[in-house]
Structure 1
Amino acid sequence: MPRQFEQDNLIGQSNALLEVLEHVSKVAPLSKPVLIIGERGTGKELIAERLHYLSARWDQEFIKLNCSSLSESLLESELFGHESGAFTGAKGKHEGRFERADEGTLFLDELANTSGLIQEKLLRVIEYGEFERVGGSKTVRTNVRLICAANEDLPSLAENGEFRADLLDRLAFDVITLPPLRCRTEDIMPLAEYFAISMARQLGLEFFTGFSPVAIEQLMSHRWPGNIRELKNVVERSVYRRGSDGEEIDHIIVDPFASPYRPMSRVKTRERQQASSTNDHAPSQQAPADINQSEAIDTADLNQAQPLAISFPLDFKDHTENYEVELLKRALAESQYNQKKTAEMLNLSYHQLRGILKKYNLLEKA
């Protein structure tokens, strides 16, 4: 079995993952088509590799292709090959992925992005095991086990006419649906530790120092929309930025774009410009004729304000610091001591919150 497959081992002990692996073991020995459905970053390619290497074709070619990365004409040529002179720049015969994967397995990712022409030709290969190269008339026969993947709901696309229903029927001999990482919470820390140790080795560190309780809370509370791929990037980034100081990883850098200097998005810039333009064209408020009248309004507003539970004289600095400490403690308790959530509740950046907690010696208690 190839070393790369051994290194990219599927890690976890959650029931959701174990059910998927059992499903894979049952269908792998067959030469039937299989569909793998899952969100981005859930490991669809790893499952396809496992299907191949657990089958009788394990010692033959495992060819893969991302269908969303090529135009229709290039995808057609890559899949089925072309004859010399089939189109401008086509010098010599080119064998496509179906020919190269003969007797082995072909994995097609992002299948939902293929055109009707490609889907029609795929259907013929599945039904008859034959095709013609682009620009050719000779029938080429092939024996390929086809595994396809998508991160969309293919049955819904078929109902809306955006995907061939007959092709979906042919491909879906069996369907393996991968659970997102948020449904595999038991696997988050084993995966994080695996990625952290691998990154420590790449950096030449003697050992991985581990995650602090705060870092573990960050990892466990994040929703991971990018799933395992996002977790891998986040952990590797956090390990590399921490360096070799010998201390635990106490901060997980989830968003590398987080910065007080981050440029404003085009949408927000446009909204601000529109708001400014509206204010510029709005009729100006007429100044009060009598300044005493304005002062009277202000005084009325102040009289309606709730009185503060304070007594004078007082030390302004001590009083405001005590108020900030109490506010921080209440926000931390409300967010169950998740610093990221606390920062969001107080409309602060994560780094701003950490600075304030450090100022009041609350960082270790958080």
Structure 2
Amino acid sequence: MQVPTPNRRGRVEREEQPLIGESGAFLAVLERVSHAAALNRPLLIVGERGTGKELIAERVHFLSPRWDQPLVKLNCAAISPALLESELFGHEAGAFTDASRTRIGRFEQADGGTLVLDELATTAAPVQEKILRVIEYGEFERLGSSDTRRVDVRVVGATNEDLPALAAEGRFRADLLDRLAFDVITLPPLRERPEDLMPLAEHFAMRMSRELGRELFAGFSPRAVDQLRAWSWPGNVRELKNVVERAVYRQPDADTPIDGVEFDPFESPWRPGSDDRAAASDRLPDDLKGWLAEREQAWIERALAECGHHQKRTAARLGLTYDQLRAALRKYGISR
């Protein structure tokens, strides 16, 4: 199922990275989101890079009673620590060098609505303290001002870090974590959503085909499907989007199914830093059988790691049968 998001006027818009999926893990997250959206409480969204944390945060806003109020988003890691406080809380003219005019911050911009703070773990302790005060009391002061201002903002934090571990190490305020963690929605990685892989891949492929002016998308060959299913997707949906779109635009014949995909666009014999590896590969080995065995074992171990030690996926990734892979594992004494 594809989950569209209404805009501020209530119309439905398609997202660049859509919420598509039918797996149990994905649908369970959507149910949690729908339940939590109705409450006027802080929320924390946790997940690996590329899992769609920002899209889930948007869904929280548009399903909430604040749906027709401002939705303001800020990536805290994209702004230097020295400027983040001003970006969040605003400043008065003359508050610091180059502050020639008064500027309102993101909290004031989001008044009545929702403020999404991505990469929250990167914020410094003084900024965390001020965020906590706004969450608890709705109060803050602009930089360079002693006037207390009040706002009504729902804060939704997003991170790919282990915040409880950071709090235990003193690198994140435990009291702020307590307030944000009224509820925590943890997004499943794509490797735990195998049912959603091909619907997502086909969506990205069809959209790229339209962008290229093609009338249709001829689909993926069984070999390409096996490659996609065997990959562990460390970059999750964002990585899948890049891989599929790259495969579509590199396919010269729109009427021919895609027969293979490239996972690493940097792979090249002319890649910087590859000279030493190329020179080593050009030398004749003294023990050809031993050299081949070492290379075979190294590739099998790498494929196992990339496929999360799932042996059937690893076999497909290497173009082997399951029995052939099992024989190689016994041969080299490879175990999980």
1:43 counterpart (46, 49, 52): 52
- Given that 2:93 and 2:102 are in contact with CA atoms closer than 8 Å, whether structure 1 keeps it comes out as yes
Distance in 2 (alpha carbons) for counterparts of 1:116 and 1:71: 14
- Match of 1:166, SS state, is helix
- Match of 2:227, SS state, is helix
1:261 counterpart (264, 270, 278): 270
1:16 counterpart (1, 13, 25): 25
Aligned length: 284
Moved over 6 A (4+): none
- Given that 1:218 and 1:340 are in contact with CA atoms closer than 8 Å, whether structure 2 keeps it comes out as no
- In structure 1, the residue matched to 2:332 is none
Give the Å deviation of 1:245. Answer: 3.7
1:100 counterpart (106, 109, 112): 109
| 1:70 maps onto 2:70 in alignment | no
2:175 counterpart (147, 154, 166): 166
- Given that 1:20 and 1:178 are in contact with CA atoms closer than 8 Å, whether structure 2 keeps it comes out as yes
- In structure 1, the residue matched to 2:327 is none
Letter in 1 for 2:33: V
Give the Å deviation of 1:98. Answer: 0.2
- In structure 1, the residue matched to 2:161 is 152
- Match of 2:273, SS state, is coil
- Match of 1:106, SS state, is strand
Rg (Cα) greater in structure: 1
- Match of 2:19, SS state, is coil
Residues 67-103 of structure 1 deviation map (CA, whole Å, 9 limit, x = unaligned): 0011122111110000001111111110100000000
The 3 A distance-change label for structure 1 pair 230 and 340 is farther
Uncovered stretches (5+) of structure 2, i.e. residues with no partner: 1-5, 281-288, 290-311, 325-336
Letter in 1 for 2:20: I
1:203 counterpart (198, 205, 212): 212
- In structure 1, the residue matched to 2:241 is 232
Within a 5 Å distance, the mapping from 1:249-328 to structure 2 comes to 249-264=258-273
Residues 279-326 of structure 1 deviation map (CA, whole Å, 9 limit, x = unaligned): xxxxxxxxxxxxxxxxxxxxxxxxxxx9xxxxxxxxxxxxxxxxxxxx
Normalised by the length of structure 2, the TM-score is: 0.80
| Root-mean-square deviation (Å) | 2.6
| 1:118 maps onto 2:127 in alignment | yes
- Match of 1:149, SS state, is strand
Letter in 2 for 1:218: Q
1:128 counterpart (128, 137, 161): 137
Normalised by the length of structure 1, the TM-score is: 0.73
Give the Å deviation of 1:253. Answer: 1.5
Question: What's the % identity of the aligned pairs?
Answer: 61
Uncovered stretches (5+) of structure 1, i.e. residues with no partner: 273-305, 307-332, 346-366
Using the TM superposition, name which of 197-206 and 8-17 deviates more: 8-17
The 3 A distance-change label for structure 1 pair 5 and 97 is farther
